[in-house]
Amino acid sequence: GDSVTQTEGPVTVSESESLIINCTYSATSIAYPNLFWYVRYPGEGLQLLLKVITAGQKGSSRGFEATYNKETTSFHLQKASVQESDSAVYYCALGEATGGNNKLTFGQGTVLSVIP
Amino acid sequence: EAAVTQSPRNKVTVTGGNVTLSCRQTNSHNYMYWYRQDTGHGLRLIHYSYGAGNLQIGDVPDGYKATRTTQEDFFLLLELASPSQTSLYFCASSDWGGAEDTQYFGPGTRLLVL
């Protein structure tokens, strides 16, 4: 089946430093799945951070960006300068249509702590 | 703004107990989902539904029932709870269920089975 592997957490970064959270995927039934990053802030549900549906394209939101690389089957999340408010759990996910349903396969989540 | 609420937020029960987790969405979305998340694992799909009265089997359905009573309400039932079902449960909704569709999540219910 499909799988998503991301950076083991927790990741601790000082404010204004750069960040990269690695994500690699394996899609068994579709060549070009849709790729997502979701984020969960303390006490809240997951919310979409960004998504990319076309290989080779880059998505960006709130200063974060991720590029869909089909050669390396990767979708790493990067930010040039993190803020304390970015402390959260980040989930990489792969989406494909299965019988009309958007089936999401999630990575295990990466806990990010930003130190002021 | 999409809104998905879950209740209760925390639940403790004993082995063999009967538990119902509730989810309501006010987005007028067609699809609703139940996931569980365990340490070291991503979210795993238990059941989902594309409308009132409909139920589809997810990837980890054993030990769970679900019922979609209205477009807004989706319930997860654990009729004989076991310690292996201790987990963080998320409900989500999406509009049309397509591969590009964004899912909107509730805040989660933390369940402890003693």
CA distance A111 to chain B (A): 11
Asked if the C-beta of B107 comes within 8 angstroms of chain A's C-beta atoms, the answer is yes
CA distance A97 to chain B (A): 5
Chain A residues inside the 8 Å CB shell of B36: none
The pLDDT tens digits along chain A (116 residues) read 889 999 998 999 999 999 999 999 998 877 788 999 999 999 899 999 999 999 999 999 999 999 999 999 999 999 999 999 999 999 999 988 665 566 789 999 999 999 99
Find all residues with CB under 8 Å of B104, minimum gap 6, and list them.
Answer: A45, A47, B2, B3, B4, B25, B27, B29, B92, B93, B94
**CB distance B83 to B114 below 8 Å:** yes
**CB distance A15 to A114 below 8 Å:** yes
A95: DSSP letter: E
Phi, psi for A71 (deg, rounded to 5): -70, -45
Cβ within 8 Å, pair B99-A46: no
Cβ within 8 Å, pair B56-A100: no
